[in-house]
């Protein structure tokens, strides 16, 4: 299944977008093993930095581009479709095409990869008078 930004925009809530993107991997599973240096080299490239800036601006700094979920920490860019060594070796469109990229917070990114909804940001609850009374 190829995931796209166009399809993702059809989902309104962060949770629906998470369900669309969830990969359900296992914590500690190796993505590239000993070849991890290849993707790390790519993430330091000028092309990646330009694409990253564009995606953050497009998504207005919101988690999964969701209008009501600002990212309060670092912004990560998630490849919506898992990458392979061939993608890096061949310079695949999957690497930089905005249709396959989305802005995420670290916790959301980990939730996507490891399938744990409990990592998703909780909705903001406005404080009310008396809501901290102990009895």
pLDDT tens column, 36-54: 566 788 889 999 999 999 9
Enumerate long-range contacts of 21-27, CB under 8 Å, 24 or more apart. 21/64, 21/78, 21/80, 21/102, 21/112, 22/111, 22/112, 22/115, 23/82, 23/112, 23/113, 23/115, 24/114, 24/115, 25/113, 25/114, 25/115, 26/114, 27/114
Give the residue-averaged pLDDT of 11-29: 82
For the segment 70-82, the average pLDDT, to the nearest whole number, is 94
Which of 63-67, 111-115, 117-121 ranks highest by mean pLDDT? 63-67
Mean pLDDT for the stretch of residues 7-16: 95
The answer, yes or no, to whether residue 66 has pLDDT greater than 80, is yes
> For residue 124, how far is the Cα from the chain centroid?
20
**Does some domain include residue 98?**
yes
User: Does residue 105 fall inside a structural domain?
Assistant: yes
**Interatomic CA distance for residues 81 and 5, integer angstroms:** 11
Question: Average pLDDT, whole number, for the chain?
Answer: 87
Please determine, for residue 62, whether its predicted confidence score (pLDDT) is greater than 60: yes
Quick check: is 47 in a domain? yes
The span from the CA of 63 to the CA of 104, in Å, is 5
Give the per-residue pLDDT at 35.
61
Q: Which domain holds residue 10?
A: 5-24+42-119
Q: Has residue 71 been placed in a domain?
A: yes
Whether residue 111 is contained in a domain is answered as yes
For residue 129, pLDDT over 70 is answered with: yes
31 vs 80, higher pLDDT:
80
% of the chain exceeding 90 in pLDDT: 55
What total number of domains does the chain contain? 1
Identify the helix (H) or strand (E) that includes residue 76.
strand 76-79
Is 114 part of a structural domain of the chain? yes
Return all residues near 43 (Cβ < 8 A) that are at least 6 apart. none
Q: What is the pLDDT of residue 28?
A: 46
């Amino acid at each position: 299944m190829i995931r796209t930004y166009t399809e993702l925009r059809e989902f309104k809530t962060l949770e629906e977008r998470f369900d669309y993107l969830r990969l359900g991997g296992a914590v500690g599973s190796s993505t590239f093993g000993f070849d991890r240096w290849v993707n790390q080299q790519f993430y330091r490239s000028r092309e990646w930095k330009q694409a990253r800036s564009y995606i953050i601006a497009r998504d207005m700094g919101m988690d999964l581009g969701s209008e009501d979920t600002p990212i309060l920490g670092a912004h990560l860019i998630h490849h919506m479709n898992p990458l392979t060594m061939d993608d890096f070796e061949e310079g695949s469109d999957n690497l930089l095409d905005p249709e396959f990229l989305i802005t995420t917070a670290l916790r959301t990114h980990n939730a996507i990869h490891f399938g744990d909804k409990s990592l998703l940001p909780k909705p903001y609850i406005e404080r009310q008078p008396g809501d901290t009374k102990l009895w």
